[in-house]
């Protein structure tokens, strides 16, 4: 028996039952939905007569007939085809997931490789600069301070922080970055930085208060903290490395140091204290990372979700152990209690410096302070653990050791 369906301008969903007239195949119900916009000017007719299926499209008197026997047969999948299609989809999803996992692991391996290579390069370069000391150390520190201060003021101007405060003008940020870079040089030249910092803070405050528009306290506070955080605190590393020129006479390394490179007199208390402090910070970060990966369960703080109490304890132990071992090698400090106390100070300065920068980045809504160092981020991402530690180490060597004599 012939069946005929005519579709005009107003197209609606069409249900076709028993599209195939073959008695060997079970009937199924299919719905064909035609787009009204696409067939707006067409009159579409589908005729099923026995084994013949003809598509008739009428437009301005023109008739086009096409046979759709194979198309109609393919439009009616049986249960076996549906199961095989489902299996193919599942297999495709599994293949995509496996490819994504492989690509993700390769990306992590590449990032780790970059991190190790550039980390070793930075470590060797910093070691050479610290050993050289003097103007080389100071100028290198000033360059790092300048870049770090630029990153800090860019974080202050980021969308996450500016949503709740008014950032300082861009020209003030640039002037502050230059002032922060000059501070270590003034520290080396004059031996102290108090007057310079006070003068710089006064000049910057006057520039903010006399600017056009409506000065805001948030501008003043963020700028003053930038001078303190990026300029004043790093100057203590210059005081520790260059100002403490008393020779460390008991160190074994100094006795074997070449005369052309300064001989025994080159190994001062400041050099030994700087090397121990930097090594303790590196050990704290490394052991905390390893301990967190292996035993980390309890979150340390919401500021940095990846830090755990277990990793912190392991980092503290690694920092103290490294400080004690190096104190035995350099024969400074001579007391075991002093070495342990120095390790405590290095660790706490490191962890709180790291958390401070993490808080700034969290409010700014960024992962890294910059992209200068591949695999490491910006300068602040690498030196955040050293910012507070220099002041603590200098205070320990300058005040604590002479006061208690341990």
Q: Are 150 and 175 in contact (CB under 8 A)?
A: no
Give the pLDDT score at 264. 81
CA dihedral 163, 168, 170, 171 (to 10 degrees): 170
Give the pLDDT score at 214. 81
Q: Are 180 and 145 in contact (CB under 8 A)?
A: yes
Give the pLDDT score at 377. 81
Give the pLDDT score at 385. 94
The structure's pTM equals 0.72
In three state form, how does the secondary structure of the chain look?
A: CCEEEEECCCCCCEEEECCCCCCCCCCCEEEECCCCCCCCCCEEEEEEECCEEEEEEEECCEEEEEECHHHHHHCCCCHHHHHHHHHHHHHHHHHHHHHHHHHHHHHHHHHHHHHHHHHHHHHHHHHHHHHHCHHHHHHHHHHHHHHHHHHHHHHHCCHHHHCCCCCCCHHHHHHHHHHHHHHHHHHHHHCCCHHHHHHHHHHHHHHHHCCCCCCCHHHHHHHHHHHHHHHHCCHHHHHHHHHCCCECCCCHHHHCCCHHHCHHHHCEHHHHHHHHHHHHHHHHHHHHHHHHHHHCCCEEECCEEEEEHHHHHHHHHHHHHHHHHHHHHHCCCCCHHHHHHHHHHHHHHHHHHHHHHHHHHHHHCCCCCCCCECCCECHHHHHHHHHHHHHHHHHHHHHHHHHHCC
d(CA 373, CA 370): 8
Q: What is the pLDDT of residues 304-317, one digit of tens each?
A: 888 999 999 999 99
Give the pLDDT score at 71. 45
d(CA 359, CA 21): 72
Q: Any bridge partners for residue 29, and if so which? A: 17
Point out the residues of the chain with pLDDT beneath 50: 1-73, 75-77, 79-80
The position carrying tokens 């930038």 is 226
Give the pLDDT score at 306. 87
- CA separation, residue 224 to residues 147, 168, 183, 355 (Å): 17, 10, 14, 19
């Amino acid at each position: 028996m012939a069946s005929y369906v005519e579709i005009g301008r107003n197209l609606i969903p069409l249900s076709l039952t028993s599209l195939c007239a073959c008695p060997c195949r079970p009937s199924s119900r299919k719905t064909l939905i035609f787009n009204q916009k696409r067939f707006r000017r067409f009159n579409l007719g589908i005729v099923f007569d026995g084994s013949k299926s003809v598509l008739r499209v009428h437009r301005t008197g023109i008739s086009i007939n096409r046979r759709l026997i194979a198309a109609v047969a393919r439009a009616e999948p049986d249960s076996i085809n549906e199961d095989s299609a489902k299996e193919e989809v599942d297999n495709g999803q599994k293949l995509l997931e496996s490819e994504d996992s492989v690509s993700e692991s390769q990306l992590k391996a590449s990032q780790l490789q970059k991190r190790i290579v550039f980390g070793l390069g930075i470590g060797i370069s910093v070691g050479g600069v610290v050993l050289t000391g003097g103007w080389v150390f100071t100028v290198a520190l000033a360059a790092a301070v300048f870049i770090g201060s630029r990153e800090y003021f860019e974080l202050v101007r980021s969308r996450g922080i500016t949503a709740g405060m008014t950032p300082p003008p861009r020209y003030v940020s640039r002037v502050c970055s230059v002032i922060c870079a000059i501070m270590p040089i003034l520290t080396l030249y004059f031996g102290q930085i108090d007057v310079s910092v006070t003068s710089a803070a006064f000049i910057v405050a006057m520039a903010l208060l006399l600017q056009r528009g409506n000065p805001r306290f948030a501008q003043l506070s963020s700028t003053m903290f930038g001078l303190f955080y990026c300029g004043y605190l790093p100057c203590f590393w210059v005081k520790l490395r260059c100002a403490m020129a008393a020779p460390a006479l008991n160190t074994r390394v100094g006795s074997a140091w070449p005369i052309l490179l300064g001989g025994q007199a080159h190994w001062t208390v400041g050099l030994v204290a700087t090397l121990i402090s930097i090594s303790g910070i590196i050990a704290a970060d490394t052991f905390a990372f390893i301990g967190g990966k292996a035993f980390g369960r309890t979150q340390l703080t919401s500021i940095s979700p990846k830090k755990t109490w277990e990793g912190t304890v392991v980092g503290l132990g690694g920092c103290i152990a490294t400080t004690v071992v190096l104190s035995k090698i350099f024969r400074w400090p001579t007391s075991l209690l002093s070495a342990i106390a120095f390790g405590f100070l290095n660790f706490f300065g490191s962890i709180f410096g790291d958390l401070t920068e993490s808080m700034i980045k969290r409010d700014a809504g960024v992962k890294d302070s910059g992209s200068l160092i591949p695999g490491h981020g910006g300068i602040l991402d690498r030196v955040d653990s050293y910012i507070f530690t220099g002041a603590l180490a200098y205070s320990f060597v300058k005040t604590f050791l002479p006061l208690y004599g341990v």
